[in-house]
């Protein structure tokens, strides 16, 4: 189930929020602690009337400050309020914390809940990390018959996240679908998407701008981007690793395509601070393949059974897929993975469209920048028969890049030279003007007015390509367009590399 946590300050706002997301939610959590500007009598009558109008399962929660909520009054008053609310609202579930058993008043709430048929969610919130033994923590939360254990933890990195994922199979075995297990914050984000597919009762969502807990997304995004109504225990898991990675547009590309093509798969962003541990996590979740972004494109390669020629040449790999032949990585369980660089075909595809499949060989190109992306671009161009002049702010770096590419690509008809990103470099570029490629991050949002090569003017006949994709049209590209040049955007490259990744993901998809 997808549960909408109502977290705004009035019941009128709750009504509007519940209505707005009605078609994307299966259940609603009433966060009474966030209604604190109202008196108790008004809360009880208004919430009861509102809950009756919902026609959906409800969770009643009065969360304390210590557990990440807003209730800071005396505990006895909170339990009185909870008891009165259970009586009048008759919620499907009431959230009671794990340390309440000794507190006087809790027994009264439990007795009322039992009489009405409200199920108790027995919760423990660890806002600092993940308990040493999450399975044991869940077991103790479930010590009373009929109660639903809820463990919400705060993974601080990939290792913690993996420990949380490992606890799902234990929970599924012990409690069937009657448990809640979630990771909060950035590193916990994948659990928000996958919890129901891994057997948990529900996942929580919030209204945008009023997130009730770190890592909540809104129910519409959960449904339309993360396919919450389609995924289940048979769903194949794909994803993207990086740090940061939650801003990535890749889930917005791959998930709708899975849905459109009737593929039972989901693509999840995994913030990752430990690549080796991610491979262990990938074995636990049977991850079929994943994209790789900054800062792991280089380091991921040492964990792979093999990489394609493009990854080898670029020294970076942006796509990892499971070996279909079942070979294992260093004898470890979970199978091995191989790497492919789809930035290279993704970069070339729009140029082949402009020049024709065979029209690109023999062209001459200037490449601005000598970083990781430039390396893939230079390799792609030279391997395709394009002669390249690479210009960089630090000329030693462009000289080294040129030497390395020359060594890898023994091209008969293409050469690679280097120079500084200044007037002398721009003068040399006069002889490499069919294509101009901008590969630095200069001009990327938020610094959209920056231009990495102010001194380079365009004649109007060049094809000018900027691989930055936010914004789609950089200042550099707009300048080229004004001069009459044909332009290619980083968005086009992104779409083509994603298309190629999608094709590779499908190649290892098993129904
Ligand atoms: P990188 O390895 O950090 O390379 C940075 C390059 O930018 C270096 O050559 C650096 O020159 C140069 N540079 C930095 N600041 C500069 C300045 N103020 N003036 C002139 N040059 C400057 O980065 P990367 O991984 O190559 O990524 C670069 C861009 O490519 C990013 O915007 C990324 O989003 C984009 N990208 C797009 C796609 C796509 O699908 N469209 C795919 C991959 C990457 P020095 O050597 O002098 O420091």
Tell me the chain's radius of gyration from C-alpha atoms: 27
d(CA 100, CA 108): 11
Residue found by looking up tokens 């109202």 in the block: 38
Q: Given a cut of 90, is residue 383 above it in pLDDT? A: yes
Q: Given a cut of 70, is residue 335 above it in pLDDT? A: no
More confident residue, 442 or 101: 442
Q: Collapsing DSSP states into helix, strand and coil, what is residue 30?
A: strand
The DSSP result for 217-267, as a single string, is: --HHHHHHTT-TTT--TT-EEEEEEESS-TT-SHHHHHHHHHHHTT--EEE
pLDDT of residue 284: 95
Residue 27 forms beta bridges with which residues?
3
For ligand 1, atom 44, the nearest C-alpha belongs to: 373
Q: On the CB side of 495, how many CA atoms lie within 13 Å of its CA?
A: 8
Sheet of 435-438, strand order: 416-420, 387-392, 364-368, 435-438, 463-466, 486-488
Q: Which two tokens stand for residue 96?
A: 């009671």
- Tens digits of per-residue pLDDT, 280-314? 999 999 999 999 999 999 999 999 999 999 999 99
- What's the pLDDT band for 191 if we cut at 50, 70, 90? very high
- Tens digits of per-residue pLDDT, 403-415? 999 998 876 779 9
Catalytic (active site) residue 407: no
Q: Given a cut of 70, is residue 328 above it in pLDDT? A: no
Ligand 1 atom nearest residue 444's Cα = 32
For ligand 1, atom 40, the nearest C-alpha belongs to: 494
Q: How far is the CA of 401 from the centre of ligand 1 (A)?
A: 14
Q: Given a cut of 80, is residue 36 above it in pLDDT? A: no
Ligand 1 atom nearest residue 297's Cα = 25
pLDDT of residue 411: 67
Give me the mean pLDDT over the 13-37 stretch. Answer: 95
What b-and-e string marks burial along 420-430, b requiring 16 or more CB atoms within 10 Å of the CB? bbeeebbebbe
Ligand 1 atom nearest residue 370's Cα = 9
Q: Given a cut of 60, is residue 333 above it in pLDDT? A: no
pLDDT of residue 102: 66
CA dihedral sign, ordered 468, 470, 475, 479: positive
What is the distance in angstroms between the CA of the first residue and the CA of the last residue of the chain? 24
DSSP 118: P
Give me the mean pLDDT over the 448-454 stretch. Answer: 96
Instruction: Tell me the pLDDT of the chain averaged across its residues.
Output: 94
d(CA 401, CA 378): 9
CB 172 within 8 A of CB 153: no
Q: How far is the CA of 440 from the centre of ligand 1 (A)?
A: 3
d(CA 49, CA 184): 31
Q: Given a cut of 50, is residue 48 above it in pLDDT? A: yes
d(CA 290, CA 276): 14
Q: Given a cut of 90, is residue 510 above it in pLDDT? A: no
- What's the pLDDT band for 511 if we cut at 50, 70, 90? low
CB 82 within 8 A of CB 107: no
Instruction: Show contacts of 361-364: CB within 8 Å, 24+ apart.
Output: 361/385, 361/386, 361/413, 361/414, 362/386, 362/413, 363/387, 363/434, 363/435, 364/388, 364/389, 364/431, 364/432, 364/433, 364/434, 364/435
- What's the pLDDT band for 104 if we cut at 50, 70, 90? confident
Residue of 144, 260, 297, 363 marked active site = 297
Alpha helices in 391-448 (DSSP H): 395-408, 423-428
* CB neighbour list of residue 448: distance below 8 Å, 6 or more residues apart: 471, 474, 475
For ligand 1, atom 31, the nearest C-alpha belongs to: 441
Q: How far is the CA of 109 from the centre of ligand 1 (A)?
A: 59
Of the candidates 348, 76, 29, 50, the one whose C-alpha atom is nearest the C-alpha of residue 213 is 29
pLDDT of residue 334: 41
CB 93 within 8 A of CB 57: yes
- Tens digits of per-residue pLDDT, 166-176? 999 999 999 99
Q: How far is the CA of 471 from the centre of ligand 1 (A)?
A: 15
Q: Which two tokens stand for residue 413?
A: 């008809």
pLDDT of residue 373: 92
Q: Give the helix/strand (H/E) hosting 183.
A: strand 180-183
Which of 243, 380, 393, 476 to mutate to test ligand 1, by most ligand atoms within 8 A of the CB atom? Answer: 393
For ligand 1, atom 7, the nearest C-alpha belongs to: 440
- Tens digits of per-residue pLDDT, 121-143? 999 999 999 999 999 999 999 98
Of the candidates 140, 139, 187, 134, the one whose C-alpha atom is nearest the C-alpha of residue 164 is 134
Q: Given a cut of 70, is residue 324 above it in pLDDT? A: no
pLDDT of residue 229: 94
d(CA 300, CA 40): 55
CB 455 within 8 A of CB 422: yes
d(CA 244, CA 481): 32
């Amino acid at each position: 189930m997808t549960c909408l946590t109502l977290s705004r300050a009035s019941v009128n706002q709750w009504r509007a929020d519940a209505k707005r997301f009605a078609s994307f939610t299966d259940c609603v959590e009433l966060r009474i602690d966030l209604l604190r500007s109202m008196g108790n009598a008004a809360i009880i009558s208004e919430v009861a009337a509102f809950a009756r109008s919902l026609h959906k399962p409800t969770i009643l929660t009065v969360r304390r400050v210590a557990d990440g909520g807003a209730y800071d009054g005396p505990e006895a008053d909170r339990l009185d309020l909870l008891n009165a609310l259970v009586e009048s609202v008759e919620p499907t579930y009431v959230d009671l914390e794990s340390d309440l058993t000794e507190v006087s008043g809790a027994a009264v709430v439990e007795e009322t809940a039992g009489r009405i048929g409200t199920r108790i969610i027995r919760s423990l919130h660890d806002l600092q990390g993940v308990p040493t033994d999450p399975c044991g923590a869940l077991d103790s939360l479930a010590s009373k018959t009929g109660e639903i254990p809820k463990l919400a933890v705060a993974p601080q990195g990939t290792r913690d996240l993996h420990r949380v994922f490992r606890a799902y199979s234990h929970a599924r075995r012990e409690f069937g679908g009657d448990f809640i297990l979630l990771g909060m914050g950035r590193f916990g984000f994948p659990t928000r998407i996958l919890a129901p597919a891994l057997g948990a009762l529900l996942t929580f969502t919030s209204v945008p701008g009023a997130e009730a807990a770190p890592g909540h997304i809104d129910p519409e995004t959960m449904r339309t981007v993360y396919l919450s109504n389609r995924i289940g225990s048979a769903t194949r898991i794909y994803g993207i690793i990086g740090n940061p990675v939650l801003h990535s547009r890749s889930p917005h590309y791959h998930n709708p395509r899975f849905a459109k093509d009737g593929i039972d798969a989901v693509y999840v962003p995994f913030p990752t601070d430990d690549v080796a541990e991610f491979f262990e996590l990938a074995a636990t979740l049977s991850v079929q393949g994943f994209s790789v972004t900054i800062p792991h494109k280089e380091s991921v390669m040492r964990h792979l059974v093999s990489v394609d020629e493009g990854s080898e040449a670029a020294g970076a790999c942006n796509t990892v897929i499971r070996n279909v032949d079942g070979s294992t990585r260093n004898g470890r369980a979970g199978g091995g993975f191989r790497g492919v660089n789809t930035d290279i075909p993704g970069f070339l595809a729009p140029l082949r469209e402009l020049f024709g499949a065979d029209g690109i060989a023999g062209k001459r190109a200037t490449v601005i920048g000598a970083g990781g992306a430039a390396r893939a671009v230079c390799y792609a161009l030279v391997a395709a028969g394009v002669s390249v002049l690479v210009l960089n702010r630090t000329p030693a770096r462009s000289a080294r890049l040129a030497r390395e590419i020359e060594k890898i690509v023994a091209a008969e008809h293409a050469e690679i030279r280097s120079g500084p990103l200044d007037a002398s470099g721009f003068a040399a570029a006069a002889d490499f003007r069919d294509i101009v490629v901008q590969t630095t991050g200069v001009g990327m949002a938020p610094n959209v007015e920056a231009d990495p090569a102010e001194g380079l003017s365009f004649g109007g006949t060049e094809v000018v390509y900027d691989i930055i994709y936010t914004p789609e049209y950089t200042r550099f590209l707009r300048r080229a367009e004004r001069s009459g040049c044909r332009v290619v955007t980083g968005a086009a490259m992104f779409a083509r590399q994603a298309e190629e990744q999608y094709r590779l993901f499908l190649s290892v998809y098993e129904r």
